[in-house]
Chain A
Amino acid sequence: MVPEQALLETQAPVEMITVVIDGFEVSVPKGTLVIRAAEKLGIQIPRFCDHPLLDPAGACRQCLVDIEINGRAFPKPQASCTIPVENNMIVKTQLTSPVAEKAQAGIMEFLLINHPLDCPVCDKGGECPLQNQAMSNGRPDSRYEGVKRTFEKPVPISTQVLLDRERCVLCARCTRFSEQIAGDPFITLNERGALQQVGIYAEDPFESYYSGNTVQICPVGALTGASYRFRARPFDLVSVDSACEHCASGCAMRTDIRRGKTLRRLAGDDSSVNEEWNCDKGRWAFKYLTSRERVTSPMIRGEDGELHEASWPEAIAFAASGLKGKRAGVLVGGRATVEDAYGYSKFARVALGTNDIDFRSRPHSDEESSFLTSVALGLKTTYKDIDKADKVVLLGFEPEEESPIVFLRIYKQVRKRALAVISDAPFASRGSQKLNAELVTEISTISGLTAKSVILVGERLAEKSGALSSALALAEKSGAKLAWIPRRAGERGALSSGAIATLLPGGRPVSEPSARVDVAAAWSVDSLPSNPGRSTSEILLALSVNNLDAVVIGGVDPLDISNEALTQLLNSFVVSLEISHSSVTAIADVVLPVAAVVEKSGSFQDWQGSVRAFDKAIADSLSRSDVRILSMIADEMGSPINLPTVSATAREIAALGLWDGSVSAFEKAATEKSAIPEGKLNLTSWRLLLDLGTLQDGEANLAGTARKASAHISATRAEKLGVKTGEEISISSDLGAIKLPVTISDMSDQAIWVPRNSIGSQVIANLGFVTGPVTVVKA
Chain B
Amino acid sequence: MDNPLTPRSNDLGLTAASKANTPIENQDAKSFFAQLQGFWVTFITMFKKVNTVEYPEVKEPTAERFHGRHQLNRYEDGLEKCIGCELCAWACPADAILVEGESNTEEARFSPGERYGKVYQINYLRCVFCGLCIEACPTRALTMTNEYELADDSRKKLIFEKEDLLAPLKSGMLQPPHPMAEGKTHIDYYRGEIKGGSNG
Contact = CB atoms under 8 A, between A and B. Distances in A.
Interface of A: 119-121, 125-126, 154, 229-233, 235-236
A233 B138 contact: no
A126 B136 CA distance: 14
Nearest to A230: B101
27 contacts: A119-B85, A120-B83, A120-B85, A120-B87, A120-B139, A121-B83, A121-B85, A121-B113, A121-B115, A125-B85, A154-B114, A229-B103, A230-B101, A230-B102, A230-B103, A230-B114, A230-B115, A231-B100, A231-B101, A232-B86, A232-B100, A232-B101, A233-B86, A233-B89, A233-B90, A235-B90, A236-B86
Contacts of B86: 232-233, 236
Contacts of B89: 233
A121 B187 CA distance: 14
A125 to B, nearest CB: 7
Contacts of B85: 119-121, 125
A121 B90 contact: no
B78 interface: no
Contacts of B87: 120
B145 to A, nearest CB: 23
A163 to B, nearest CB: 14
A570 B101 CA distance: 47
Interface string B167-194: 0000000000000000000000000000
Interface in B74-92: 83-87, 89-90
A121 B113 CA distance: 9
Closest 4 CB pairs of A and B: A120-B85, A230-B101, A120-B138, A233-B86
A230 B101 CA distance: 5
A236 B85 CA distance: 12
Given A121-B113, A229-B103, 10 more contacts: A120-B83, A120-B85, A120-B87, A120-B138, A121-B83, A125-B85, A230-B101, A231-B100, A231-B101, A232-B100
Nearest to B101: A230
A233 B136 CA distance: 15
A229 B85 CA distance: 12
Contacts of A120: 83, 85, 87, 138-139
Given A230-B103, A231-B101, A126 B84 contact: no
A152 to B, nearest CB: 11
Interface in B100-141: 100-103, 113-115, 138-139
B115 to A, nearest CB: 5
Contacts of A232: 86, 100-101
A281 B165 CA distance: 40
A261 to B, nearest CB: 10
Contacts of B103: 229-230
Nearest to B118: A230
A160 to B, nearest CB: 14
A126 B90 CA distance: 10
Contacts of B113: 121
Contacts of A126: 90
B200 to A, nearest CB: 27
A235 B114 CA distance: 22
Nearest to B186: A121
A230 B86 CA distance: 10
Contacts of B83: 120-121
Contacts of B138: 120
Interface centre among A120, A126, A154, A231 (most CB of B within 10 A): A120
A126 B87 CA distance: 10
Interface string B54-98: 000000000000000000000000000001111101100000000
Contact of A230 (B84, B90, B139): B84
A233 B139 CA distance: 18
A233 B86 CA distance: 7
Contacts of A230: 84, 101-103, 114-115
Nearest to A122: B85
A545 to B, nearest CB: 55
Nearest to A226: B103
A687 B100 CA distance: 37
A125 B139 CA distance: 16
A777 B113 CA distance: 52
A168 B183 CA distance: 28
Contacts of B101: 230-232
Nearest to B137: A120
A232 B99 CA distance: 9
Interface string B138-156: 1100000000000000000
A381 B115 CA distance: 49
Contacts of A229: 103
A690 B115 CA distance: 29
Contacts of A119: 85
Nearest to A154: B114
Contacts of A121: 83, 85, 113-115
Nearest to B95: A235
A235 B88 CA distance: 13
A229 B114 CA distance: 10
Contacts of B84: 230
A77 B26 CA distance: 79
A154 B115 CA distance: 12
B103 to A, nearest CB: 6
A693 to B, nearest CB: 27
Contacts of B90: 126, 233, 235
A210 to B, nearest CB: 25
Contacts of A125: 85
Contacts of A231: 100-101
A231 B115 CA distance: 10
A121 B139 CA distance: 11
A207 to B, nearest CB: 23
A236 B139 CA distance: 21
A235 B92 CA distance: 12
A778 B103 CA distance: 45
Nearest to A150: B187
Nearest to A117: B138
B195 to A, nearest CB: 24
A234 B115 CA distance: 17
A231 B89 CA distance: 14
A218 B148 CA distance: 46
A715 B159 CA distance: 69
Nearest to A125: B85
A623 B103 CA distance: 31
A232 B83 CA distance: 12
B131 to A, nearest CB: 18
Nearest to A153: B114
A256 to B, nearest CB: 14
A388 B132 CA distance: 58
B186 to A, nearest CB: 10
B171 to A, nearest CB: 30
A232 B89 CA distance: 11
A235 B85 CA distance: 12
Nearest to B84: A230
A232 B119 CA distance: 12
Nearest to B85: A120
A676 B192 CA distance: 75
B111 to A, nearest CB: 10
A543 B123 CA distance: 58
Contacts of B102: 230
A235 B91 CA distance: 11
A229 B116 CA distance: 12
A347 to B, nearest CB: 42
Nearest to A235: B90
Most buried by B among A119, A121, A231, A233: A121
A230 B114 CA distance: 9
Nearest to B139: A120
Contacts of A233: 86, 89-90
A223 to B, nearest CB: 16
B163 to A, nearest CB: 20
Nearest to B187: A150
A581 B138 CA distance: 45
Contacts of A236: 86
A229 B84 CA distance: 12
